[in-house]
Amino acid sequence: MSVATRYLLTTEVLFDKENKPQLIAAWQKKLPANTNLYLSENEDTLLELQAVSELTELASLLKGDHFSQIKKDTKKYLRSDLRQELLSFVENVIPQKKSLPTGEFLQMRHIEVPLHVHDDYLDWRKDTIFKHVEKLKNIDSFVAYHSALSHQPGVMFVSSFSCSPKDYLAGFTNPTYQAIAQQAGDRFIVGGKQGLYTTLYKKI
């Protein structure tokens, strides 16, 4: 049985690189329990993942002290608003050991699938994407979520790993996976293969 959180609240901000130390220090000052903080590969984006067990918790989280204090303490360092979305757990491919990813690195993999082919996509990915990922021994966890509340609806794969990013990415840039990605683009992804958006992060 999965221990991955039922709902995942993501909060992301853009910032100027020269403000990185001050921003991280301010954000970490009173980090809630069941929360991970990440820095993007380009070191200009900060991502917070917060585990949410039930939807009834959401109102108190969003209206609570954490985000109001974050806005107050970090706004002078930011180039964006708080970009938030709520993801709902769908299924495990490689289960997490805890409610949040535990690896040193994180990749968020997003696509939007039109509703009229969504069921077909869910069946297809079990025999293609998931079987491929299960063979990749350097992935700590790989969990499928779907947007519950988001300005970018769709599928989100939350992939965690502790090897080098180069070794990790080799599992998705090889010809076998590229053929799978092309099939997905041709049949299921809004915008085709170019509609796959991925971002790498390192845990802080």
Joined tokens for residue 104: 């040193």
pLDDT in tens, 126-170: 999 999 999 999 999 999 999 999 989 999 999 999 999 999 999
Report yes or no on 1 lying in a domain: no
| Three-state SS at 203 | strand
Report yes or no on 136 lying in a domain: yes
Q: Which one of 47, 65, 85 terminates a domain?
A: 85
What is the reported pTM? 0.94
pLDDT in tens, 91-135: 999 999 999 999 999 999 999 999 999 999 999 999 999 999 999
pLDDT of residue 179: 98
What percentage of the chain's residues is helix, strand, coil (to nearest 5)?
A: 40, 35, 30
Helices (H), 18-81: 20-28, 58-63, 65-74
Q: Which one of 62, 85, 108 terminates a domain?
A: 85
Same domain? 198 vs 114: yes
Span 31-44, mean pLDDT? Answer: 95
- Quote the domain boundaries for residue 128: 89-203
Q: Which amino acid is at 128?
A: T
Same domain? 119 vs 40: no
Joined tokens for residue 94: 């490689």
